[in-house]
Amino acid sequence: MSETLLRVENLQAHYGKVAALRGIDFEVGAGQIVALLGSNGAGKTTTLKTISGLISASAGRVFFRGEDITKTPAHDIVRLGMAHLPEGRRIFKDLTVTENLELGSYILKDNIERRRRVNAVFERFPILASRAGQLGGTLSGGEQQMLAVGRGMMAAPKLLLMDEPSMGIAPLIIRDIMKIIRDLREDGATVLLVEQNAKMALSLADYGYVLETGSIVLQGKGSDLRRDDKVVKAYLGG
């Protein structure tokens, strides 16, 4: 059994008086791909934002690599080895591909190491290398997603939080995104994946959790959830 990298205990979050998370518990083991499934408004994105420090938890605790990070500022969580790839990619459209990548390594002071990491991203995504001086906003949707992943890799994270990586991507490119996620895991990263494309998520995930209105209602191995009648009817078109 893999070492627990992330543990969430009774996590609660609110937007004003509205409860977005109602006391959820889950774990992510080192080297795993873990999927969070659910319809719009289920609390998936809020979960990621609360874990990464972008939203303050109302109650509960978040442990990362054995350390309680519940009240740790977001920029310090990045330094601990967590990177959050937000929904909609959020690249800087008026900056070049290289400049976008370099911003992902703002915690680094070693310019030689920064260049090494940029080159490593270019090796993984040759299309980005060929567009190094091109503005981010001129890239296709799939290329922008690669850039967002590459920017996340620049921090050399132990854990990647990925929010809807297939959103707005052409169906033919989704296969490429799936390969990228698998490759990241093979390279030693752990991935917590929020994804409405349940077929994609469960084909990748070692384990999955299903959220409804801020609560976890179902969990299990990815392969088991793919065969679960409730999941098939709600998310897989059964």
pTM across the whole model: 0.91
Write down the CATH superfamily of domain 4-91+157-235.
P-loop containing nucleotide triphosphate hydrolases (3.40.50.300)
Burial class (CB in 10 A: 0-12, 13-18, 19+), 234: middle
More confident residue, 207 or 124: 207
* pLDDT score at 236: 72
Over residues 58-80, the pLDDT tens digits come to: 999 999 999 999 999 999 999 99
Over residues 136-145, the pLDDT tens digits come to: 999 998 899 8
What pLDDT band is residue 1 in, cutting at 50, 70 and 90?
A: low
